[in-house]
Amino acid sequence: MAFFELIPEDQMATEAKEYIGIAKKRARSDRVAHTYYVLARNPRLVKAWVQVLQELIPIPNRFGAAQGVAGMLIAHAKGCQTCFNTSRQLLLKLGFDLGALDNMCRFPEALPLGDRDRRFVEFTLRVARDPQGLKTDDFRDMERAGFTKDEILEMIGVAAYWNLATTLAMAVDAGLREE
Amino acid sequence: MAFFDIPADEELSPEVRQRLEEYRRLLGLESLPRTWKVFGRCPKIIEARLTAFQNLHYQSRFPWEARNLAVMLIAHAKRCQGCFTGARSQLDKLGFDEATLDKICADPEALPLKERDRLFVHYALKIATGSADLHPKDFREMAEHGFSKEEIQEIIAFAAYWTLNMVFTQSVNAGLMEE
């Protein structure tokens, strides 16, 4: 038996249901990650998570589908199956095929994206994995590639969001595993 | 010269100013950390950070002292100097001396707290630094120590918040360093 249980929607507090509804709309799906249904026990946590998602990764946003690629690769690097699946499902709906996504995961250093999108994904992945290792030159390189300072700050926001989401999802997933 | 600049107060919108002031007031700080003010021209990021701070860190059933000890240890493990200094300054206000805090960093198991608060710190640190390595038995163990499922979820969210916040702090600190 798993430690955590999924709260059915008809037993959730209105607030949790409302914010899960927003997450569903974003995912273009009638179901979202299990993590939301577990955390529905604490509506404040679901509300905060969705609000943070809305602010840091708004839809639409200036980085377009590259956002989804960044999410998939960060989840892949961190070993978060839930965030990985969620990002992949969204990318499939946006027209990517499975083979192309698998190749991106295998060769993240050779992404078949336009230069701007590729730089966005590489930088965001780097910030999410090793923020401590960043140097001033990394920011200068991004600026030389045409990104504004505000865009770079937004990329930091994207990377930060995925650290929150992968930590939440991996911890909750561990509590959902059958013993 | 640093890559990022800190916007002057006059450049900030009244909403951003109000949100930053709220953060400063909640923490009882004399002035705002640069790692927050640097986002002054990005209202959505300020909103996201404050929402996460208020709901995942500030509002909590665990004591302020234990939360700040957890932050100090997570920051120490992740080498986030900004968060480490912030937590130490809160602990200083609570009457902890430098030598005691150094000793706790060297041996996190030796926390001078009640058993329940010590376990809160232990689990928050474990989740923030290794959510991929959690097992169902970790949650059973927490429940055996008297933590309810709601409380365990709160600890997960607390740890996740700090993984988000440390990406913000470490990244922008790199861009605020003088060359």
Give me the domains of chain A, ranges plus CATH numbers: 9-59 (no CATH), 66-173 (1.20.1290.10)
Domain of B71 in residue numbering reads as 64-167
Mean pLDDT value of segment B119-136: 96
Give the model's pLDDT for residue A84: 97
Q: What is the pLDDT of residue B179?
A: 76
- Give pLDDT tens digits for A151-160: 999 999 999 9
Q: Which two tokens stand for residue B35?
A: 């790692």
Rounded to the nearest 10°, the torsion over CA A130, A136, A142, A143 is 150
* pLDDT on residue A179: 76
Helix (H) or strand (E) holding B128: helix B115-130
pLDDT digits (tens, 9 = 90+) for A120-154: 999 999 999 999 999 999 999 999 999 999 999 99
Q: What does the pLDDT read at residue A178?
A: 85
**Cα B99 from Cα A73, distance rounded (Å):** 42
How many structural domains does chain B have? 1
Query: What are B39-75's pLDDT values in tens digits?
Result: 999 999 999 999 999 999 999 999 999 999 999 999 9
In this prediction, residue A30 has a pLDDT band, given cuts at 50, 70 and 90, of very high
Q: How confident is the model at residue B132 (pLDDT cuts 50, 70, 90)?
A: very high
Alpha carbon distances (Å) from B39 to A125, B16, B19, B69: 20, 9, 12, 27
Cβ–Cβ of A164/B137 closer than 8 Å?
no
Contact in structure between B15 and B127 (CB atoms under 8 Å): no
pTM (whole model) above 0.95: yes
Q: Which residues are CB-contacts of B117 (< 8 A; sequence separation ≥ 6)? A: B62, B63, B65, B66, B111
A:86-145 residues touching chain B, CB 8 A cutoff: 127-128, 131-132, 134-136, 138-140, 143
Give me the pLDDT at residue B167, please.
98
pLDDT average, residue stretch A49-60:
96
Residue B38 lies in a domain: no
What was the ipTM of the complex prediction? Answer: 0.96
Residues of A in contact with B19 (CB under 8 A): none
In this predicted structure, what is the pLDDT of residue B110?
A: 84
The one-character DSSP state at B15 is H
Q: Does A59 touch chain B (CB under 8 A)?
A: no
- Give the CATH number, domain containing residue B118: 1.20.1290.10
Residue B103 in contact with residue B110, Cβ under 8 Å? yes
**pLDDT in the model for residue A110:** 87
Question: 49-68 in B: which are within 8 Å (CB) of A?
Answer: 51-52, 54-56, 59
Q: Report how far residue B69's alpha carbon sits from residue B58's, in angstroms, rounded to the nearest whole number.
A: 14
How does pLDDT run across B64-120, given as a tens digit for each residue? 999 999 999 999 999 999 999 999 999 999 999 999 999 999 999 889 999 999 999
Rounded to whole angstroms, the Cα distance separating B60 from A101 reads: 40
From A125, A16, A151, select the one nearest B175 (Cα to Cα): A151
Separation CA A7–CA A13 (nearest Å): 10
Give the burial class of A113: count Cβ atoms within 10 A of its Cβ; 0-12 exposed, 13-18 middle, 19 or more buried.
middle
pLDDT beyond 80 at A176 = yes
Interface of B with A in 65-84 (CB under 8 A): 78-80
Helices (H), chain A: 14-27, 34-39, 43-56, 66-78, 81-93, 98-106, 115-129, 136-144, 149-176
Which secondary-structure segment (H or E) carries B64? helix B64-78
